[in-house]
Structure 1
Amino acid sequence: MASLLTRETNEDGITTLTLNQPERRNSLSMGMLEALSEALHDLADHEATRVVVIAAAGKVFCAGHDLREIRDQLDSHEFQLALFQRCSEVMQQVVNLPKPVIARVAGVATAAGCQLVASCDLAVAADSARFATPGVNIGLFCSTPMVALSRNLSRKHAMEMLLTGEMISAARAEQLGLVNRVVDESFLDEAVYTMAGTIAGKSGHTLKIGKGAFYRQAEMPLAQAYDYTAEVMASNLQSDDAREGICAFLDKRQPQWKDS
């Protein structure tokens, strides 16, 4: 599995996971999903990691599931169900990871690859990147990618991508809210790692609280969301880093985070 996915942590605490099977268009085969799941599980408690970047080797970010693998198992409902359940678990691992996750998108991201981009907290794309949920074109509606897509785009925009299966540009993806920024491909790494570095400089404890609260409140009715986040903020204020941050701001100095 190690050959399918590479991992590197720099001195700023930014860990890059790189999908490393360009000859198979970095497809989310069962093997690739297992490798991603193992890495994300390990990173959840990896103290040296403050931000995670998901990147890909080659000219394709991720073409979705491995259709050759699916074809070879067409008669096995058990395998098909296990594959889609495993993929769903990995996407939830990304969302539930107590550290921000940024997708670095160069090339094409389709089907479950588009789902992976939508599942990340942030996404930066090269201007040459393209996105699609084309399952409808081959008789297999992108139902699991729909979950992540419908939570990032408006319903009509999500349905347009799902029903037409058409490829959209990086610029259009930014307009729809699928990605945060689009940059010239030659500046992609600079844009991604500048963003990651900015986030890595914050309190890790605070980022963990904020990311968890963001996704939890998003599924609540308005009044319940405000009640919940009021409790979160009151609890957050009891942390060492909140107290340090407030004092540092008032004293006009840089905070010294304890991540607690």
Structure 2
Amino acid sequence: MSVAEEFDTPLLLRRDADGIARLTLNRPKAYNALSLGLMAALQQELDAIAEDTGVKVVVLEGAGKGFCAGHDLREMRSRSDAAFHETVFAACSNLMLSITQLPQPVIAKVHGIATAAGCQLVATADLAIATEETRFGTPGVNIGLFCSTPMVAVSRAIPRKQVMEMLLTGEMIDAETAIDHGLINTAVPEAELDDAVAEMAGKIASKSPLVLKTGKAAFYRQLEMPLAEAYAYTSRVMVENMQARDAAEGIDAFIEKRSPKWTGE
């Protein structure tokens, strides 16, 4: 996609309904490669969503034939100075951290291909649902650029030997293998992808937004702690959670055999 096309076409599309924000990477001719412009647009929307109490779940998808092919290599080669490349990788790293730190759960809706930084996006998302035909990979080694930053997210999603095979060979894996490795939750026929993602997003959106925010933050924080420290930390989280109005409402609704009415407090 040319510079002119990028200025004429929104790089990111957003549509909200029923507490679900759907963000669509919109560079289909470039397989939604993560140009600086696209990353900036996605970062801006994530920052806005983080403050939007009306959004309970985020779905991240790609327009066209594939989810995301990684960084925009043409853009990367257009500048040879290290300062520009530092800017690109810093923007990407900040984007991935923002997804992890976002109060709302993020579901990656994946089709076609998810390679390099696109595979990193899938690994970074809290949940991922793909089509059965989707292929995943970290093929940087094939072009002389080891997928070092994608490795951070992917190595935290799948076991060491499997991720090293992906990184060292650059070979693609299919959706069934991605499930076995733990990279994605499930894969469905392409015709069923929309419904599968909508069903998952709807289930999550029906929960207390306060509980979703509390639980997601605690999940990622405790992962980095030693076992005893993790138990001490999550015990404090549960004590605080028990004081919330939504916890009282949820427990009372369970005892009274009725549907809870969440307030987000």
Task: Report the TM-score when normalising by structure 1.
Answer: 0.98
- 1:197, 1:241 → 2: CA distance? 19
- 2:191, 2:95 → 1: CA distance? 30
Q: Equivalent residue for 1:166?
A: 171
Q: Equivalent residue for 2:31?
A: 25
- 2:53, 2:214 → 1: CA distance? 16
Q: Equivalent residue for 1:42?
A: 48
- 1:19, 1:167 → 2: CA distance? 22
1:47 deviation in Å? Answer: 2.0
Where in structure 1 do 4 or more consecutive aligned residues deviate above 2 Å?
none
CA deviations on 1:86-109 (whole Å, 9 max, x unpaired) are 000000000000000000001100
Cα root mean square deviation, aligned = 0.8
- 2:232, 2:54 → 1: CA distance? 34
What is the total number of aligned residue pairs between the two structures?
258
For residues 1-260 of structure 1, what are the structure 2 equivalents within 5 Å?
3-10=10-17, 12-73=18-79, 75-260=80-265
Question: Quick one: which amino acid aligns to residue 30 of structure 2?
Answer: R
Question: Quick one: which amino acid aligns to residue 250 of structure 1?
Answer: I
- 1:159, 1:223 → 2: CA distance? 30
- 1:221, 1:36 → 2: CA distance? 33
- 1:24, 1:152 → 2: CA distance? 26
- 2:16, 2:39 → 1: CA distance? 20
Q: Percent identical across equivalent pairs? A: 56
- 2:28, 2:144 → 1: CA distance? 25
CA deviations on 1:36-80 (whole Å, 9 max, x unpaired) are 10000000011221100001110011000001001111x210000
Structure 1: give runs of 5+ residues left out of the alignment: none
